[in-house]
Amino acid sequence: MRARDLGITLEGNPGSLNAITDVPGVEVGMTTIVTGEGPLVYDQGPARTGVTAILPIGRDNVGKALTAGIYSHNGNGEMTGSHWIAETGGLTGPVMITNTHAVGTVHRGVIEWIKQNHPEMAIEWLLPVVAETWDGYLNDINGPHVTHQSAIDAINTATSGPVQEGSHGGGTGMNCYQFKGGNGTSSRVVPFGGHDYVVGAFLQANFGDRRELTINGVSMADLDVPNPMDNDDWYLKDVARSVPGGAGSVIVVIATDAPLLPDQCKTLARRVPMGLARTGTAGGHFSGDIFLAFSTANQGEIGSGFPAVPAAEAQLSKLEFIPWNYIDRFYTAVVQAVEEAVLNALINNETMTGRDGNMSYSLPHDQVKQRLGITN
């Protein structure tokens, strides 16, 4: 069940899947790791984690540069490769999302995948894009549960169909507004110049205090949710604690098939906080809120990481782009899609018990409907 299924009214016209994969060419794959129960045993579990791979134009086209831009709303987080995106305005590979302490492992996993599938790229230098949020409340985050193969499998299983929301892939162990969080996605159709373009959002939601949560302008601060300390399991008496609020981070990826300049991609990324704010967050100091936007149009025109032909044989490139004075409708699409993606991450989810019996409860649907006056 997603936000619209629950009866929540949301603005804008979504694509057929209401997902980032409504953007033609975009594929999403995930590796989900859920093992073990009970007290934490370092390096053994329990594990509640994973890896998400977003392929902007599929596996075969890795290496073909797209226009892209990044924006850091709050920098207590990581997105590798971001400096090169900022420098060149180009994105040439998959976008990976995992937990905070698995960034290096996934980074190496992407390199291994490129060695196997695009050796002509691997012979040059690589700067994989890997972003993260913290899942240490539910997961043995210091354990070696995410492997190089986890990243490889996420890339290899990427498809253009429906996207798994909630507790899957990199979002497996995440919390949002102190409820069970994780993956959310949504899309909006934007007509322009006789074409129906799509703006899609995917996020790994791991942010917010419960007292901040707002849906359709209605506060959800005091929803009735069980206290983890009420559990009778012996190990909860000493170590169980509340889901951390405020910190944890959120990574958002915006994709569109509308032709955009790199600076226009960056302006789309800068609108992400407005969509997040519609759900209540003010952006916590210890939350890494980092956003990436890319366009699948003008493929390869911006160049690549290394010269393809000698300079004497090279040709000028040309970029089509939406005129700046018509960009507002795309800003609106970003804000609307991000808001809905957050709600989908919360609603399309289930309660999870993790390491040391720590519990993250799913958003109570009935209470939300009651607050919003939804009667269906």
Convert the pLDDT of each residue in 173-216 to its tens digit.
999 999 999 999 999 999 999 999 999 999 999 999 999 999 99
* pLDDT band at residue 314 under the 50/70/90 scheme: confident
Residue labelled with tokens 């609307």: 336
Residue by residue, DSSP assigns 284-343 as -TT-EEEEEEEESSSTTTT--SS-SS-GGG----------GGGTHHHHHHHHHHHHHHHH
Helix spans in 95-193 (H): 103-117, 119-122, 148-156
Pick from 84, 111, 83: nearest CA to 96: 111
Longest dimension (CA), the chain: 74
What SS3 state is found at 114? helix
In single-letter form, the type of residue at position 45 comes to G
For the stretch 89-141, pLDDT in tens is: 999 999 999 999 999 999 999 999 999 999 988 888 899 999 999 999 999 99
Among the listed residues 160, 187, 287, 295, the single catalytic one is 287
Task: List Cβ neighbours of 359 (8 Å cut-off, separation of 6 or more).
Answer: 226, 228, 231, 240, 243, 351, 352, 353
* pLDDT band at residue 236 under the 50/70/90 scheme: very low
Give the pLDDT confidence score for residue 313 in this predicted structure.
Answer: 82
Record the tokens describing residue 334, joined without a space: 């970003």
Pick from 249, 300, 258: nearest CA to 90: 300
pLDDT at 241 over 80: no
Record the tokens describing residue 117, joined without a space: 């599938």
Q: Is the pTM of this model over 0.85?
A: yes
CB 48, CB 173: distance < 8 Å: yes
Give the pLDDT confidence score for residue 146 in this predicted structure.
Answer: 98
Active site residue 304: no
The 10 Å Cβ neighbour count of residue 224 is 6
Q: Which residues in 12-94 belong to E strands, given as ranges?
A: 27-35, 47-55, 66-75, 90-91
Active site residue 196: no
**Is CATH 3.60.70.12 correct for 3-33+41-224+247-305+324-365?**
yes
Identify the burial level of 42 via C-beta atoms within 10 angstroms of its C-beta, where 0-12 means exposed, 13-18 middle and 19 or more buried: exposed
* pLDDT band at residue 162 under the 50/70/90 scheme: very high
In degrees, to the nearest 5, what angle opens at C-alpha 363 toward C-alphas 358 and 364?
115
The 10 Å Cβ neighbour count of residue 79 is 24
Task: List Cβ neighbours of 357 (8 Å cut-off, separation of 6 or more).
Answer: 38, 39, 228, 231, 233, 235, 236, 239, 240
pLDDT at 69 over 80: yes
Among the listed residues 289, 295, 356, 360, the single catalytic one is 289
- Containing 276, the helix (H) or strand (E) segment is helix 272-277
Among the listed residues 160, 186, 249, 362, the single catalytic one is 249
Pick from 31, 2, 28, 49: nearest CA to 94: 28
Give the pLDDT confidence score for residue 239 in this predicted structure.
Answer: 42
Active site residue 287: yes
